[in-house]
Structure 1
Amino acid sequence: MVVMPISTPGFSRISSYGATSYGRIQAFCTMTMNSNSPQIQRKEEVQVQHLKTAIPQLETAGATNLHFNRLQPLDQQLVQEERIEFGQFTAREALLDEEYWTAAWLRAESHWEDQPNQRYKDNYKRKFTEQEFNALKRRCRKQDKHKCTCIVVVKKEDRSVKRTVLKSVVGTLDLSIRYLLPRETFPGERVKAPLFCSIDRTSQGRYGYIANLCVAKTARRQGIATNMLYFAVKLAKSNGAEQVFVHVHKKNIPALGLYKKMGFQVVEMATSQLSKEQTYLLCLGL
């Protein structure tokens, strides 16, 4: 099923900890060999070598074999009904290991974007990517009470341009389907629940939770954040969620504007701990 997109432009800073930079991910991509310039070819060789240095770290950590030169498959090669098409992009669930890895790298870039001069930053980002990749695969593989889906936005196929998966993924977010505890009205609310109470896994109390929303720096202001968020809300609703929640830092004004434009409202009675952390809990009723 293809859902009609929203045309509102995306924001440059949309995750709870800041937007992502996409510049350094190209150091892990194989560039399209469309130039005869020796200088460009030498630069490409350096980038490919930089990529190869990261692969052993992932493989020794028990990750699935990753092929960083894998081309993005055509739409007709992917069996998936739920998606949103807008402009030159498609928002859908991540399917390939390389898409999960690129989503993890985007989050690492986002986390360190506001720390440009930090020492050993590249080493930290590679380690973070490795850990987030493995954790993301575990979360999405589980079939317990918390169902997690990694949503990505990829550039549409272009028969004249062959792109790797790493160059095609330009946005990501996580959508979790969870359940409120007895007497809870929002996640994390402190209530006196009966001892050893169990979660009632029915449609009542089921909600969606959005996290890790990032957009590549080179792809911002093209409606990616808005349409990816719209797709996540539609997916949450189709999974029986009655509400969708997200945490946003109070100083992240672009993110707050984006969510409020989508209809999210601040939960005024959220926990005092969030106030100490300068974080809002926002909710959208479905």
Structure 2
Amino acid sequence: MAAWLRAETHWEDRPGERYVDNFKRKFAEQEFNAIKRRYSGQHGQTYTCVVTVRKEERNVKRTVLKSVVGTLDFSIRHLLHGESFPGEREKHLFCSISRTNLNRYIYVSNLCVAKSARRQSIASNMLYFVIESARSEGVELVYVHVHRNNEPALELYQKIGFEMVEMASSQLLKQQMYLLCYKT
């Protein structure tokens, strides 16, 4: 369900494009396989997929697929030795992972909400869930990457309390991404 919603969201601005349904199916299949890989427990990281569904209504029947309105992934990770934020690899080409509670953080990815369900606090509620999960795990920092042109997402994260990370790698500049951080 999460993979299909992500495919729908990814291709929503191109409805008239030729073969868009084939592209959606292929994207959903790739995302499904990526989800399976992430949740197989590799690399000692803990992944969680949050799926939000519509509230059940009397006398309204929906398929499971049509009930899913939001999804996001988050994982508990460790900073590499010498990093002060995720992805700060320019200085440290060959680093080890230092697994202490002080350098654990949560990384948010793949946040999406169905077009028909936007502006209903679904994304913010999922993010609040992640923040509460961080607190309960004793994790103080939550990170997310956002494309510089994604103004609705930037506004959402900043409204919740995420702040721009001061330093950004040249890779982020090339990809036109911002790294945002929330301190619990």
Establish whether TM, by shorter chain, passes 0.5.
yes
Once the two structures are TM-superposed, the CA of residue 192 in structure 1 deviates from its matched residue by 4.6
Tell which structure's C-alpha radius of gyration is larger.
1
Q: Matches of 1:255 and 1:132 in 2, distance apart?
A: 21
Q: Is the 8 A contact 1:145 1:201 kept in 2?
A: no
For 1:240, the aligned partner's letter is G
Residue of structure 2 equivalent to 1:238: 136
Runs ≥4 in structure 1, deviation > 4 angstroms? Answer: 191-195
Residue of structure 2 equivalent to 1:214: 112
Is 1:177 aligned with 2:76? yes
For 2:145, the aligned partner's letter is H
Report the RMSD for the aligned CA atoms in angstroms.
1.9
For 2:66, the aligned partner's letter is K
| Within-5 A mapping of 1:29-108 | 102-108=1-7
In structure 2, runs of 5+ residues without a counterpart are none
The SS at the match of 1:230 is helix
Q: Is the 8 A contact 1:108 1:128 kept in 2?
A: yes
Once the two structures are TM-superposed, the CA of residue 164 in structure 1 deviates from its matched residue by 2.7
Q: How many residues align?
A: 184
Structure scoring higher RCO (CA < 8 A, sep ≥ 6) equals 1
Q: Aligned pair in 2 of structure 1 residues 277, 143: CA closer, same or farther (>3 Å)? A: closer
The SS at the match of 2:101 is coil
Residue of structure 1 equivalent to 2:181: 283
TM-score normalised to structure 1 length: 0.60
Q: Aligned pair in 2 of structure 1 residues 276, 149: CA closer, same or farther (>3 Å)? A: same
Once the two structures are TM-superposed, the CA of residue 118 in structure 1 deviates from its matched residue by 2.7
Q: Is the 8 A contact 1:152 1:169 kept in 2?
A: yes
Q: Which has the higher strand share?
A: 2
Once the two structures are TM-superposed, the CA of residue 248 in structure 1 deviates from its matched residue by 0.7
Is 1:130 aligned with 2:29? yes
Residue of structure 2 equivalent to 1:13: none
Once the two structures are TM-superposed, the CA of residue 202 in structure 1 deviates from its matched residue by 2.3
TM-score normalised to structure 2 length: 0.90
Identity %: 65
In structure 1, runs of 5+ residues without a counterpart are 1-101
For 1:247, the aligned partner's letter is H
Q: Matches of 2:158 and 2:140 in 1, distance apart?
A: 18
